[in-house]
Amino acid sequence: MERVLLLAHVESSGEIGKTTREAAQGAAEIARGLGAELVVGLIGARAETQAGTLGVDAAAFLAVSGDEFDEARYASDAAASTALVKASEATVVIAGATSRLSRALPGVAQRVDGRITTHVTGAEVDGGQLSIERWYYRQRMKATLTSPRRPWFVIFAPGIYGPAPASDEAVTCRAIGVPAAGPWRTRVIGEDAGSSEGQTIRPDATLLFVAGAGWTKKQGDGASHVPEAAELIRGFLDRSQASLGSSKSLVDQSSEGGDVIPFMTHLNQVGQTGATPRHPKGLSTCCHGEEPHVVGWRFVTERRAVNLDANCGWARGKADVVYVADAFEVMKRVNELLG
């Protein structure tokens, strides 16, 4: 008989995050499919006060609480998660791919001699058996797989399930102690935006706007127009609230000492060695659409591109629409229309 643990943490804001709520929905569906008991294990400063807001119907709620568990530190997250996995006696551990748990759970799986499958993009229960779907070779091929090994840790990518509805139900939580907690050798100092101009990456945006190296290349008049490009891109982001992505060639220009768009960093890079964001729509500009870039668009549903070259990669079956045009001209007018 399987026993499913939803392993989750409270965000530093004191709330439960979206990725966690999605995993909660996934865990509830999988537990139902397996005919298994669902247990919730929560980590946070005052985790017990948040367990009820998860909105899942669980057989038990377990919590590791304390100020030290508010900090996103591997050692304390791994210790707390190990304690919860052991206390729950779970055979299947489900979590959302938050940065904290993505970092902590591989080590926890190792500690409890389990197995872990990450970046999971789908799950199915058939005849009492759980199988999952994930991609290999950076979104190039999709596999379904299962593991007989228990506990099996299954970490869901964001956006796979709709979030479990928030609830204000009070639940009874069992406090779980963490043996040999601290002293901790790592201290979290804080966070920074990664870019000089604040937040340009907006995971919840409808549109992903990708800028390629063409924005910094010599144009028809024989000169490059980098400040103008930066102004157009910034203007578009402000008006549209799109999330900003980049090709590798464009972000590499800063480490190679080239002319740069000031707010572009490696965090914006999409593709093989960058991010694979999930957005309903994507607009690519001045980017050639080479395969190592386009693998990062796997989860972008509708795709359009503006490129001077009618034979760019996008035109070869990688975008729905390619406008063969000068992106400087087009984006200037798009910004005017957006007002």
Partner 1 sequence: MAGFHIVVCGGMVPDPLQSLEPVVGPDGPALKNEAMLPMVLDPWAAHSLYEAAHLAAHAPGSKVWLVSLGPKARLQQLMMSIAQKVSFELVALDGAAGGFSDAYEIARALAEAIEGIPDLDRTRLLLFGGCASAARDAGVTMSMVAERLGLTEQFLGVDMLETDGDRLRIKERVEGGRYRISECDAPPAMLAWATGTLPIPPNNPQLGMQNMRSIMPALARAKSIPLGSGDVAFGAVERPVQRRETRVVKDMPPEDIAREIVAWMREG
Ligand X SMILES: Cc1cc2nc3c(=O)[nH]c(=O)nc-3n(C[C@H](O)[C@H](O)[C@H](O)COP(=O)(O)OP(=O)(O)OC[C@H]3O[C@@H](n4cnc5c(N)ncnc54)[C@H](O)[C@@H]3O)c2cc1C
AA identity, residue 216: T
Q: Is 322 in the site for partner 1 (CB under 8 A)?
A: yes
Report whether 105 contacts 155 (CB < 8 A).
Answer: yes
Which of these ranges, 28-36, 42-50, 168-176, 324-332, lies near partner 1 under the rule CB under 8 A? 324-332
Q: Is 25 in the site for partner 1 (CB under 8 A)?
A: no
Give the SS3 label for residue 203. coil
Two tokens at 2? 């399987």
Contacts of 223 (CB under 8 A, 6+ apart): none
> What whole-number distance in Å separates Cα of residue 215 and Cα of residue 227?
10
The nearer residue to ligand X, 46 or 332, going by C-beta atoms, is 332
Single out the residue of 12, 49, 102, 219 in contact with ligand X (rule: CB under 6 A): 219
Minimum CB separation from ligand X for residue 87, in Å?
A: 41
Contact string (CB under 6 A) for ligand X, positions 225-254, x = contact? ----------------------xxxx----
The torsion region of residue 5 among left (phi > 0), alpha (psi -120 to 50) and beta comes to: beta
> What whole-number distance in Å separates Cα of residue 8 and Cα of residue 19?
10
What is the signed CA dihedral for 28, 33, 39, 40, rounded to 10 degrees? Answer: -20
Give the count of residues interacting with ligand X (CB under 6 A): 30
Q: Is 195 in the site for partner 1 (CB under 8 A)?
A: yes
Single out the residue of 53, 76, 307, 335 in contact with ligand X (rule: CB under 6 A): 307
Find the binding residues for partner 1 in span 52-91 (CB under 8 A). 72-75, 78
Find the binding residues for partner 1 in span 226-255 (CB under 8 A). 240, 252, 255
